Amino acid sequence: MLSLDRPRATRLTVSLAIVLFAGAAFAAEPPVVSFWEQTESVSVVTFSADGKQLVTAGGNLQTGYVAFWNLDTMTRAVRLTDTGMVRAMAISPDGKTLCVHATVLLGDRSTLSKVRTFDVTSGKPIAEIESLPKQAGATGAMLFSADGKQLVLGRGDGTVTLHNPATGKLTATLRVGSDAAWALALSSDGKTQAVGGQGPTGVQLWDIAEEKVRATIPVGQFYVAALAYSPDGKTLVAGTGRDHETPGELVVWDVTEGKIKDRWKGHDGPVVSVHFSRDGQYVASGARSSDIKLWDAKTGKELRELTGPLNLSRVAFAPDGKTLAVSGGTGDVFISSGGVRLWDVPSGRERLPPKAAAERDRREAALRRTAAEQAQARAVRDRDPNVATERARRAEYALAIHVANDHAARWQFAQARKLLDGLRPAKGESDLRGLEWHLLDARLPRFTELCDGKPARHATFSPDGTRIAAAVGVSVHMFDAATGKPLFECKGSRNSAGILFSPNGKSIAVVDSSANAVGTDVKVVDARTGKDIVSLSGHPGGVKGFAFSPDGTQLAAAVGASIHMFDAATGKPLFECKGFRNSPGKMLFSPNGKFIAVVDYSANAAVSDVKVVDAHTGGHRFTVGAPRRC
């Protein structure tokens, strides 16, 4: 039996404790997380007040977060969790307080809209501003006053509320109208609050002290999704849109003269974010169509166009104006992690991961060498057209291949295809196309433009894949899928909101909503002639989903809080299935046609169940509850 004397045992115990303590200390050291390796979706992006950190936020109902990234090392400094699904955030001017608007999932699977303030240093909550159902809560428009003593929130009930960020106490309420306040901007002197939304009033300029409207900026039929004051307070820019397809514009308001002084156009979709650089030289604007534009704030000249992430949501200048950050709700693994992209404003070069930046530098250097060779070959050809023509062609070919590859890497397929087609040899010329041309040609998608370039709201293939039906404007167009040749046009729709072929491909169901979405009809159209077969009208609740039975004889439609079943040939109502919580949506028939699976959304559409009903009687069979955590 081994025995130890007490002093030696004590020394061993102390030594072991030191080792364990040291091991625990080393184990507690948080791992270094690189910005370029993070994969969480980002819905909001901004910069810290001192410009040293990039702040991103997003996630989902279970894994919402806010992260602070060191811009020098591009590593994560702080991460706040349990925030809920972050929809908007703002940082106080002194950089000490963070305000977060998020959707939070509760234990009973219902959700709340919460606005809370946090201490940036410790990450601890400071105050809860509100905790309300999503429809009645904040819209996501929020900002701090210049002195940081007031927090301003735009709300869904047509009001703007001012709060003490330290206590959450309501200090003032501005009744701006009946529509939601989507956009806010505060003048540099803190006296005027600009408010924009979907209502017909355009942008309202409120005197905060007197709580009355000073001026109104008309924007016509557009809604206002973004507002930004210039640093000197003399200019207000409003980002507008009409729908997902119509290009938006920037309305520039002269605050001193009280009138619109310019309209900047050029975006492909509705403008969702606008930001002035701190020195007032530039304006950055982003559209839902993922195009970003950099404008000269004084002249309105477009200086540069950039391509943003999918579902673009926010643009933000760093305090020094040298870096522009852009976020989107969907990450793009071909561009950057989490849907965030960064640009150096003076040079227009994108900030990339080290390896990607090195590859870009290598390709640009090769491009410059090729361009120089091309210029030299052209100069020789200009002096003597009969000399070095082949050399000039080869230099031009190499340059075009480099540029085409660059376009393909940015998903600009049409431009890449045009360059490749230009390299095909003319009659009597030698064919210079090599392996790199054929590889890129095979990689590029081939497409045929339908609808003469007009935006299509919905499109679907026929079951046999030979035809394409597309909703364009107030018509449904049918095309040959192989050639793109138009077959016929079915007119008479008001605003097609969905298309579905019957299983046998002989008919099409079209959801037809009015322009103001007051009522919604479903029409069944002959897929060969475009003639109406039957019209199912009078659904003021709107049709949220529809589906054909496998044999094509029945059509199910989700209307209001019920499922209605119709005879697809005559339009005769067969039965109505009730008992849904709020709003049934997407649905699917079983292959044998005996059952229908229906998504039953909750009041805020954040969580849902799947109900299975009998397709012949409408009786409920069973319900599959959505899991609380995935």
Q: Which residues contact 172 (CB under 8 A, 6 or more apart)?
A: 161, 162, 208, 211
More confident residue, 126 or 368: 126
Predicted TM-score (pTM) of the model is 0.62
The rounded distance, in Å, linking the Cα atoms of 360 and 551 is 55
The rounded distance, in Å, linking the Cα atoms of 81 and 337 is 19
Tell me the percentage of the chain whose pLDDT exceeds 70.
Answer: 81
Note the pLDDT of residue 276: 93
Q: What is the mean pLDDT of residues 525-542?
A: 76
Note the pLDDT of residue 2: 32
Q: Which helix (H) or strand (E) holds 233?
A: none
List pLDDT tens digits, range 282-291: 999 988 877 8
Maximum C-alpha span of the chain: 103
Quick one: DSSP state of residue 478? E
Q: Out of 198-202, 217-221, 492-496, 626-630, which region has the weakest mean confidence (pLDDT)? A: 626-630
Q: Does 525 score more than 90 pLDDT?
A: no
Q: Report the interhelical angle of 389-409 vs 413-422 (nearest 10°).
A: 160
E strands, 396-450, are none
Q: Does 502 score more than 70 pLDDT?
A: yes
CA atoms 486, 492, 498, 502: torsion sign: negative
The rounded distance, in Å, linking the Cα atoms of 577 and 29 is 57
The rounded distance, in Å, linking the Cα atoms of 406 and 394 is 19
The rounded distance, in Å, linking the Cα atoms of 256 and 369 is 52
More confident residue, 313 or 270: 270
Confidence of residue 381 (pLDDT cuts 50, 70, 90): low
Q: Out of 367-371, 423-427, 578-582, 616-620, which region has the weakest mean confidence (pLDDT)? A: 578-582
Note the pLDDT of residue 519: 44
Note the pLDDT of residue 130: 75
Q: What is the mean pLDDT of residues 322-330?
A: 78
Note the pLDDT of residue 591: 92
Note the pLDDT of residue 539: 59
Cα-only R_g, the chain: 30
Tokens representing 529 are: 């002639």
DSSP string, 12-64: HHHHHHHHHHHHHHHHHSPPP-BGGG----EEEEEE-TTSSEEEEEE--SSS-
Note the pLDDT of residue 602: 62
| Secondary-structure class of domain 452-625 per CATH | mainly beta
Tokens representing 113 are: 């809209």
- For the CA atoms of 301, 303, 306, 311, the dihedral, rounded to the nearest 10 degrees, stands at -30
Note the pLDDT of residue 348: 82
Tell me the average pLDDT of the chain. Answer: 80
Q: Out of 222-226, 358-362, 491-495, which region has the weakest mean confidence (pLDDT)? A: 491-495
Q: Which helix (H) or strand (E) holds 181?
A: strand 181-186
Note the pLDDT of residue 129: 84
Confidence of residue 216 (pLDDT cuts 50, 70, 90): confident
The rounded distance, in Å, linking the Cα atoms of 408 and 401 is 10
